[in-house]
Every structure is written in structure tokens, then in C-alpha cells.
Structure 1
Amino acid sequence: MKTTILIPARYASTRYPGKPLAQIKQGDGTSKSLIHMAWDAAQGVAGVDAVYVVTDDSRIEQAAYDFGAEVIMTSPEAPNGTARCAEALENAGLETDLVVNLQGDAPLTPTWFLEELIAEMASNPEAQMATPVLRCDAQTYNMFREDRAAGRVGGTTVVFDRERRGLYFSKEVIPYIETGRMPDPIPVFHHVGVYAYRPDVLRAYMDWPEGILEAREGLEQLRFLENGVPVTCVEVDARGRLFWELNNPEDVARIEAVLQKA
């Protein structure tokens, strides 16, 4: 199964302009840009045939070339990473069996998250797309609650059925847990912003109009659910590591703290 990783990156983030070029201090005291870290992470994934940075911005393009990446340019009109990946698939005439969308704002994404996602798609030919989910521990759950209490939109949570098909994704913390009655284990799953798509369903995404839920939440994966395409949720294990994306400037310190311990 020929597999291609695309790393969509845009400069004009509403919450964090210039986010892909934000410098993150590494454990050895040096710094790397977020997009460079995403590229490095992709290089470590087994069974991948090609990796590209996908952007519409010349600053990100040049930075990517500087650290040795291959780049596919897309239009500024692409509203999200999925649309950017779909456009890149056509612009570059990519011939691939599987497209993996590794968001450029998740430098703590372990290689095994992507490898387990790819393995799911290889073993389950009925799956049209899949995404990793990670059960929250107390620290991650509290980070979600802190962000919401401060009025920040942080990560995304998900609920899914017994067949691991996503029921809903939200920037709110779902399901609701009554104060003082925390179950063990915590029944909240952090949605890891990585996707694997069959090329046909990725192309179909561009033909569907934005749905009500996608517009309200700002979550591209909801367009698939609104059009009846199951999203297979692949539960992954962080193996004792903290996983968090860079959604807001406040997240830089959280990520750097993890890197200092690595």
C-alpha cells in the first residue's frame, strides 16, 4: 500500500498567526520551528513512501526547503488541512493508495500513532478514513478544563460507538462529567489531529458544501460525518508521554516542558 504523508501548514492562523514557524526549544537547548518538528516526526514513520509540506505561503515554503523538505504549493483559499491535502493530491498528480494528513501543529505526535493508523487502514479495506484517539489521563483532562475555563479553544474531544465509528467531535469537552464524580478510567478521548484517507473520499470532500456542524465547531472531520462517511477511531497509547497540540501561544510552554523531559 503506497502511503504518502502530507503536512498542511498555513501562516494565517486566527488564534496563532505564523504558527508553523514558531520556534520551539528542544531538550538539548536548540530551537526548531514547528513545521520542522512535524517534518522530522514524519521521517520516522515506518512504511511511508513520500512526505511533503503543503502550504500556500512563501515563508513556510522557504523554511521547508531550508531544512530539506519537499513542498507542494496550494491556493490561499483552502479553508483547512483536509482541503489543502485534497488540493495537493490534484496539484502534484500524486499516485498513492493512502494519504496521511499530519497536522503541522502537533510536534508531540509519536511515530507509532501514525503507524497504527496506517496499519488500521491496511487491515480494514472497508474503512474510508481513520483518525487516532487517546484516552485522557488526569493531567490532559485538567488541561482541557483549564483552557475552557480561560475561554481558550484548545484540543478536540470525540465520542464513538462500539464499532469505533466516530459519533461526534467537539472543541467542548465531551461527554459531560458531573463535578466530583470522575469515573476511572476517565471516559474522555482526546482526538489526535491526524487523518488517513483513501484518495477517493479525500476528493469527495471538496465536492460537499460545508455543513452546519463543521461551521459551528470549525472541525473539518465533521463534514465526513454530515455526509454519511464513517470516521474510524483508532485508540492509541501515549506510552507514558504527554500528547498536546500547539493551538494557542500558551501551549508553547506546555510543549517545551515535555521536550525538556525527553
Structure 2
Amino acid sequence: MKFVALIPARFGATRFPAKLMADLYGKPLIARTYLSTVATGIFDDVVVVTDHEEIAEVIRKEGGKIFISQKEHESGSDRIAEAAAHMEADVIVNVQGDEPFQDKKSLQDLVNSFGDSRVQVASLMMTIFDDSQIQNPNAVKVVVDKDNFSMYFSRSPIPFIRESPSEITFYRHIGIYAYKKDLLMAFTQWPKSILEKAEMLEQLRLLEQGIKIKMIHTDHQAVAIDTAEDLEKAKEYFRANFSDQL
């Protein structure tokens, strides 16, 4: 199978304008994400999909490949689908452009899941140990069946604990997806579903179409940058883990 990583990289951002161009110890954030994805050695190809020439030029300087979006897109999934339509690939992995420290084991486990013929789309989850995360609507929860296929995603605490059984484990969804290419192309053509609109979670569109998502457990705590404060945390992580590159 041919595995291609596509990194959607929109220039605009409401909470942190032009964040993908923010400096992270000598390189723009998007360059760090691109280079860490390539460094995993997992993918047959890695392409940054962007709407802006500044981002494209950053990736060209790193010797990377870019695809310039020709359309306006509502989501990263829509953006990568435009690029995927022009590519030969069996599986497309959507790598978030604002997560500069990609984890090789998590991504390897993700692509390995497609050895199971039942898997059409896969994503990541991690165990929640902090009770405040269970109640936090920004931390998306997922419940799975015995084979770790998704049953439901919600911003609410799921499952609801009526009598607090100790064996219940809560899982947080980590928003990286791998799709069989044909499913990605179909998914982005389906209209928004009722549950998707209610929770503002696009993966519910898949569930409402009867597509279960294979959930892969990870212990890697992704560093996602949505605000200037997040960038400072990323710098702390870089200092702690990549001091030889300072």
C-alpha cells in the first residue's frame, strides 16, 4: 500500500493569525511539522497543502513538496481532498499543520491498522487521567467497541457514569486521521450530518453514514498550537527534547 501524508496549512487563523509562520527556534512552525513528519520515515510521500505562497516558499526551502489549493475550504479534510484527487495513494494521512512534534510510533500504528481489511478510516485516542478533561467540552471523548472501533464521539462526558463503576476508562480523541483515499473523497462530498452540526465534530458524519473509525491507542501527548501561549509551551518542549538543535 502507498501511504501519503498531507499537511493542511491554512495561512489564516482566528485565535493566532499566521501561526504557521511563527518562529520555533529558527524555523517556522509549519517547517517543523513538515520535517518531523518526514523524519518518521513512514510515508511514501509528504506534501504540504496550503492556500498561501509564504507557506509554500517555506516548504520549498526545506526541499519539500507543496500543493496550492485552488478553492476555499471549510476544513482541513476538504483541503487535503482537493490535493488527494491528483495523487496516487491507497491511504491518506491528515497530519495537523500546527502540531510540530510528530510521534513515529503513533503514526506507524495508525498506518499498520490498514492491514485489517475492515479498516476504512483510523484515528488516535489516549486515556484520560485528569477528571477536568472529562468535563472539558474542548476535549473530545470517544467510546469504542471490543475491537476499538468508534461507537460515538462527544464533547460531553461519555459514557455517563450513573453509579461510578471503577472499570470505566475515558478516552480522548486525538484529531489525526488516516483514510483510504476513496473514502476520503466520498466523505468530503457528503452533506454535514445532524449530529455533526450539533457537536461540531466532522467525524460524526462518518458514523451517521455507517462508517466506524478504528481507534488506535497512543501515549503520546501531542503539542498543538492554537494560541501564543501554546507556542511558548512548544518552545519549552523543544528545549527539553531537542537541546542539541538549539
Tell me the equivalent position of 2:222.
243
TM-score by length of structure 2 reads: 0.85
Q: Secondary structure at the match of 2:153?
A: strand
Say if 2:184 is the partner of 1:192.
Answer: no
Say if 2:62 is the partner of 1:67.
Answer: yes
Report the alpha carbon displacement of residue 125 of structure 1 after superposing the two structures with TM: 1.6
Q: What does 1:7-156 correspond to in 2, within 5 Å? A: 7-24=7-24, 30-90=25-85, 93-121=86-114, 123-138=115-130, 142=132, 144=133, 148=136, 154-156=138-140
Tell me the equivalent position of 1:27.
none
Distance 1:61 1:15 in 2: 22
Tell me the equivalent position of 1:220.
202
Report the alpha carbon displacement of residue 182 of structure 1 after superposing the two structures with TM: 10
Say if 2:148 is the partner of 1:164.
Answer: yes
Distance 1:202 1:213 in 2: 19
- State, as a whole percentage, how many aligned pairs show the same letter: 32
Report the alpha carbon displacement of residue 87 of structure 1 after superposing the two structures with TM: 0.8
TM-score by length of structure 1 reads: 0.81
Report the alpha carbon displacement of residue 172 of structure 1 after superposing the two structures with TM: 4.7
Provide closer, same or farther for how the CA distance between residues 260 and 137 of structure 1 changes in structure 2, counting only shifts above 3 A.
farther
Structure 1, 188-197 or 49-58: larger mean CA deviation: 188-197
Provide closer, same or farther for how the CA distance between residues 168 and 249 of structure 1 changes in structure 2, counting only shifts above 3 A.
farther
Distance 2:5 2:140 in 1: 22
Where structure 2 has 5 or more consecutive residues not aligned to the other structure, the ranges are 242-246
Report the AA paired with residue 189 of structure 2. Answer: D
Report the alpha carbon displacement of residue 189 of structure 1 after superposing the two structures with TM: 1.9
Report the AA paired with residue 134 of structure 1. Answer: M
Distance 2:165 2:32 in 1: 35
Does the Cα contact within 8 Å between 1:83 and 1:206 map onto a contact in 2? yes
Q: Secondary structure at the match of 2:228?
A: coil
Q: What is the aligned-residue RMSD (CA, Å)?
A: 2.5
Does the Cα contact within 8 Å between 1:37 and 1:107 map onto a contact in 2? yes
Distance 2:191 2:227 in 1: 28
Deviations 1:154-202 (A, max 9, x none): 4433222222121223345544679xx8968x83322222111111101
